[in-house]
Amino acid sequence: MKKIALHDIHTSLNAKMVPFAGFNMPVSYEGVNIEHENVRKAVGVFDVSHMGEFLISGENALDLIQKVCSNDASKLVDGKAQYSCMPNEDGGIVDDLIVYRINAEKYLLVVNASNIEKDWNWIAQHNTMEATMKDLSDDYSLLAIQGPKAAEAMQSLTDINLSEMKFYTFEVAEFAGVKNVIISVTGYTGSGGFEIYFKNEEAETIWTKVMEAGADFGIKPIGLAARDTLRLEMGYCLYGNDIDDTTSPIEAGLGWITKFSKDFVNAEALKKEKEEGAKRKLIAFELDERGIPRQGYDIVDENGKIIGVVTSGTMSPSLDKGIGMGYIPTEIAKSKEKIFIQIRKKAVPASLVKLPFYKG
Amino acid sequence: MNIPQELKYTKDHEWVKIDGNVATIGVTDFAQGELGDIVYVEVETVGETMEQEEVFGTVEAVKTVSDLFSPLSGEILEFNETLEDTPEKVNTDPYGEGWMVKIQIADESQIEGLMSPEAYKELIGG
Residue-wise pLDDT tens digits, A121-148: 999 999 999 999 999 999 999 999 999 9
Interatomic CA distance for residues A88 and A119, integer angstroms = 11
Where do the CATH 3.30.1360.120 domains begin and end in chain A? 2-50+138-234
- pLDDT value at residue A360: 80
Q: How many domains does chain B have?
A: 1
How far does chain B reach from its first CA to its final CA, in angstroms?
Answer: 7
Q: What is the value of pTM for the model shown?
A: 0.94
CATH number of the domain residue B96 falls in: 2.40.50.100
B24 part of a folded domain: yes
Superfamily of the domain at A279-353: Aminomethyltransferase beta-barrel domains (2.40.30.110)
Q: pLDDT digit string (tens) for A94-127?
A: 999 999 999 999 999 999 999 999 999 999 999 9
B21 part of a folded domain: yes
Where do the CATH 3.30.70.1400 domains begin and end in chain A? 52-127
Q: pLDDT digit string (tens) for A236-250?
A: 999 999 999 999 999
Q: pLDDT digit string (tens) for B47-88?
A: 999 999 999 999 999 989 999 999 999 999 999 999 999 999
B119 part of a folded domain: no
Residues whose CB is less than 8 angstroms from the CB of residue B123 and which lie 6 or more positions away in sequence, other chains included = B9, B11, B115
B74 part of a folded domain: yes
Residue A351: helix, strand or coil by DSSP? strand
Residue A290: helix, strand or coil by DSSP? coil
A284, A312 Cβ separation under 8 angstroms: no
B117 part of a folded domain: no
The domain in which residue B32 lies consists of: 8-109
Residue of A nearest to B58 (CA): A344
Nearest Cα of chain A lies from the Cα of B16 at a distance, in angstroms, of 26
**Chain B neighbors of A31, CB-CB under 8 A:** 36-37, 91
CB–CB of B62 and A229 under 8 A?
yes
- CB-nearest partner of A33 from B40, B62, B65: B62
Where do the CATH 2.40.30.110 domains begin and end in chain A? 279-353
B116, B8 Cβ separation under 8 angstroms: yes
DSSP symbols for chain B: ----TT-EE-TTSEEEEEETTEEEEEE-HHHHHHH-SEEEEE---TTPEEPTT-EEEEEEESS-EEEEE-SS-EEEEEE-THHHH-TTHHHH-TTTTT--EEEEES-GGGGGGSBPHHHHHHHTT-
- pLDDT value at residue A190: 97
Superfamily of the domain at A52-127: Aminomethyltransferase beta-barrel domains (3.30.70.1400)
ipTM of predicted assembly, 2 dp: 0.82
CATH of A2-50+138-234, one of 3.30.1360.120, 3.40.470.10, 3.40.50.1220, 3.40.50.300: 3.30.1360.120
The radius of gyration of chain A from alpha carbons, rounded to an integer in Å, stands at 21
Q: pLDDT digit string (tens) for B28-48?
A: 999 999 999 999 999 999 999
B71 part of a folded domain: yes
A206, A196 Cβ separation under 8 angstroms: yes
B10, B69 Cβ separation under 8 angstroms: yes
